[in-house]
């Protein structure tokens, strides 16, 4: 094994890293349809792992890997987990699987198959290390209730609770992104009266009733939460946005006819909120707001709490090594929801640190920068070698 990754020997890993990334990008793993990619990961693992030394667990399309001799004695050992979701959202990518201008294009390349590729390369070289845990999980991009980490935590909590630091390879442009905003999705209904579009007297158009909501939501103030991390002020901000509007005949049936005015206008209100909001405060605020804009029916369909910040020795080691490696501390708060929340709300320290760009996540023609890929791999390789996980 190469002891240290530097500019002289990094090229040995670069081609392997890009090759793995292209292979997993070729597998479309939309949320809920990750089985092909999960099978690929299992076959990749079996190509080099000695199964007499390593536990490989598969639950649904979630995969957990750790050395059978893992040492959970907290007096002398620290446990590091590398964590990544294998699902993607759908979008258009006109350059899918192409490499151009030091960029690898593909659906989910930044969010977060670049991180998965880094995890797989690191796994190949460090699977014998005793105090490393690898978690590949499904359905992160969907509803919180179906998130694969719920299965991991419920079935393997005796293992997971021993993790000192979970590094989630979400896109961060190789910044450290701490914490995360919570997320809530609320369905809002405005009632009209359905009728034939040619006969104005026969219907009440519900879409005209949503205008006050659309106007007022743009005027909502941002709610901020500030924390000081190593003399850097980190700001988390709220965001309220409509992500979907459609006509429906009742709660479940969409309006499928162009000549019918629907009974209801249905909107999805997507809310991002900082850790200073608990669920009760958030719902109280939303109820008051939607009452003012005369919504007829509201329904909370999804809720995930914000993620906190838990400092411990291993996170301090990570930060110190990061400053040594990069020359300064590049840290900010995570604007989106990530599963840092799942870990920190179970009293486990966790951060976001990945090669993808958060500004490209869920974008048309998504790509990841090759220099970001190799830098992320190099840093994590060297960090793992610098700490006693063997």
pLDDT band of 146, cuts 50, 70, 90: very high
> Measured at the alpha carbon of residue 347, what is the angle toward residues 311 and 310, in degrees to the nearest 5?
15
Q: Are strands 331-333 and 176-178 parallel, antiparallel or unpaired?
A: parallel
For helices 313-326 and 370-386, give the axis angle rounded to 10 degrees. 130
Q: Which of 65-79, 85-99, 174-188 has the lowest mean pLDDT?
A: 65-79
CATH of domain 182-304: 3.30.70.360
Q: Are strands 80-85 and 132-137 parallel, antiparallel or unpaired?
A: parallel
375/358 Cα distance (integer angstroms)? 16
116 in helix, strand or coil? helix
* 163-195 exposure pattern, b = at least 16 Cβ within 10 A, e = fewer: bbbbbbbbbbbbbbbbbbbbbbbbbbbbebebb
Rg over alpha carbons for the chain, rounded to the nearest Å, is 23
Q: Which uninterrupted H or E stretch holds 94?
A: none
Burial class for 117, CB neighbours closer than 10 Å (0-12, 13-18, 19+):
buried
147/128 Cα distance (integer angstroms)? 28
* Average pLDDT value for residue range 66-83: 83
Helices (H), the chain: 11-25, 35-46, 114-126, 148-155, 157-160, 211-217, 279-292, 313-326, 340-344, 370-386
- Kindly list the domain boundaries of the chain, sorted by start residue: 11-180+307-386, 182-304
* Average pLDDT value for residue range 242-253: 91
270/302 Cα distance (integer angstroms)? 10
CB neighbours of 353 closer than 8 A, spacing ≥ 6? 167, 168, 169, 170, 172, 174, 175, 176, 177, 376
Answer yes or no: are the C-beta atoms of 335 and 150 closer than 8 Å: no
Question: How far is C-alpha 234 from the geometric centre of its chain's CA atoms?
Answer: 20
Give the model's pLDDT for residue 2.
45
The strand pairing partners of 227, in sequence order, are 234
Q: Which uninterrupted H or E stretch holds 369?
A: strand 367-369
384/122 Cα distance (integer angstroms)? 9
Task: Report which of 191, 193, 209 is spatially closest to residue 261, judged by C-alpha positions.
Answer: 193
The answer to whether domain 11-180+307-386 has CATH 1.10.3720.10 is no
| pLDDT tens, residue by residue, 46-60 | 999 888 889 999 999
Average confidence score pLDDT of the chain: 91
| pLDDT tens, residue by residue, 248-273 | 998 778 899 999 999 999 999 999 99
pLDDT band of 231, cuts 50, 70, 90: confident
**Residues for the chain: how many in total?**
390
pLDDT band of 9, cuts 50, 70, 90: low
Give the model's pLDDT for residue 75.
64
More confident residue, 126 or 72: 126
Answer yes or no: are the C-beta atoms of 57 and 158 closer than 8 Å: no
**Does position 169 have pLDDT exceeding 80, yes or no?**
yes
């Amino acid at each position: 094994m190469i002891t240290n990754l530097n500019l002289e020997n990094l090229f040995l890993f670069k081609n392997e890293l890009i090759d793995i990334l292209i292979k997993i990008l070729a597998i479309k793993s939309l949320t809920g349809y990750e089985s092909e990619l999960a099978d690929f990961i299992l076959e990749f693992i079996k190509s080099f792992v000695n199964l007499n030394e390593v536990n490989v667990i598969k639950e649904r399309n979630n995969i957990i890997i750790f050395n059978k001799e893992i040492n959970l004695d907290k007096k002398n050992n620290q446990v590091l987990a590398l964590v990544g979701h294998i699902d993607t959202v759908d979008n258009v990518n006109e350059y899918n699987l192409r490499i151009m201008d030091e960029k690898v294009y593909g659906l989910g390349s930044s969010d977060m198959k670049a991180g998965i590729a880094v995890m797989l390369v690191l796994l190949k070289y460090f699977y014998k290390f005793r105090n490393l845990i690898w978690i590949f999980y499904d359905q992160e991009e969907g509803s919180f209730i179906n998130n694969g980490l719920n299965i991991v935590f419920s079935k393997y909590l005796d293992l997971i609770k021993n993790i000192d630091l979970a590094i989630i390879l979400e896109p961060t442009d190789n910044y450290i992104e701490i914490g995360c905003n919570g997320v809530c999705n609320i369905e809002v209904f405005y009632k009209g009266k359905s009728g034939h579009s040619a006969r104005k007297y026969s219907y009440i158009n519900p879409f005209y009733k949503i205008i006050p909501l659309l106007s007022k939501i743009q005027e909502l103030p941002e709610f901020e939460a500030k924390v000081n991390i190593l003399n850097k002020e980190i700001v988390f901000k709220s965001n309220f946005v409509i992500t979907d509007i459609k006509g429906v005949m009742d709660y479940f049936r969409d309006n499928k006819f162009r000549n019918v005015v629907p009974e209801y206008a249905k909107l999805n209100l997507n809310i991002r909120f900082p850790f200073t909001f608990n669920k009760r405060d958030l719902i109280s605020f939303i109820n008051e707001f939607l009452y003012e804009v005369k919504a007829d029916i509201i329904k909370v369909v999804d809720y995930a709490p914000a993620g906190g910040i838990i400092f411990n020795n291993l996170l301090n080691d990570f930060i110190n090594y990061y400053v040594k490696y990069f020359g300064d501390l590049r840290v900010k708060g995570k604007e989106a929801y990530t599963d840092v929340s799942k870990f920190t709300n179970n009293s486990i320290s966790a951060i976001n640190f990945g090669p993808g760009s958060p500004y490209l996540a869920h974008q048309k023609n998504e790509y990841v920068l090759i220099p970001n890929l190799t830098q992320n791999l190099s840093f994590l390789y060297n960090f793992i070698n610098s700490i006693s996980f063997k």
